[in-house]
């Protein structure tokens, strides 16, 4: 079935190291959104990408939407302990009917 997979599922990094999570869809996406969920919290919107090949930056976070609009990535430079949480991508699949799917998520732990 149509899925949006994220890799890795888990990532432990030392504080100061970089981190990247990848989001891959089996179907072309009309857009991609990224959310962060802190432990015990609810998802919070980070950013939305719409255009093919689009790159957006938020301080230490860099978001990229693939040329084919089937994949996306979130890169964090010099992680901090406040980056801990699960990062989800979410997108609308271009498949005839509206289908909004969240990715499987990447859980990030930052070791001080």
Partner 1 sequence: EAGVTQSPTHLIKTRGQQATLRCSPISGHTSVYWYQQALGLGLQFLLWYDEGEERNRGNFPPRFSGRQFPNYSSELNVNALELEDSALYLCASSLNGGGSYNEQFFGPGTRLTVL
Q: What is the SS3 assignment for 103?
A: coil
Interface with partner 1 includes 31 (CB under 8 A)?
yes
Classify burial at 13, counting beta carbons within 10 Å of its beta carbon; exposed 0-12, middle 13-18, buried 19 or more: middle
What DSSP string describes 30-62? EEEEEEEE-TTS--EEEEEE-STT-EEEETTEE
Please, which of residues 38-67 interact with partner 1 by CB under 8 A?
42-45, 48, 50
Q: How far apart are CA 6 and CA 1, in angstroms?
A: 15
Interface with partner 1 includes 10 (CB under 8 A)?
no
Interface with partner 1 includes 27 (CB under 8 A)?
no
When the beta carbons of 2 and 80 are compared against partner 1, the nearer one is 2
Please, which of residues 71-90 interact with partner 1 by CB under 8 A?
86, 88
Interface with partner 1 includes 99 (CB under 8 A)?
yes
- Long-range Cβ contacts of 55-63 (<8 Å, 24+ apart): 63/34
When the beta carbons of 78 and 99 are compared against partner 1, the nearer one is 99
Residues engaged in binding partner 1 (CB under 8 A): 30-31, 33, 42-45, 48, 50, 86, 88, 92, 97-105
């Amino acid at each position: 079935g149509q899925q949006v997979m994220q890799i890795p599922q888990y990532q432990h990094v030392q504080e100061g190291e970089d981190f990247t999570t990848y989001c891959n869809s089996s179907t072309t996406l009309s857009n991609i959104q990224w959310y962060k969920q802190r432990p015990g919290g609810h998802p919070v919107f980070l950013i939305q990408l719409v255009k093919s090949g689009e790159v957006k930056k938020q301080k230490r976070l860099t978001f990229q939407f693939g040329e084919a609009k089937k994949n996306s990535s979130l890169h964090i430079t010099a992680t901090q302990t406040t980056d801990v949480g699960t990062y989800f991508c979410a997108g609308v699949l271009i498949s005839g009917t509206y289908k909004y799917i969240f990715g499987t998520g990447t859980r990030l732990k930052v070791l001080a």
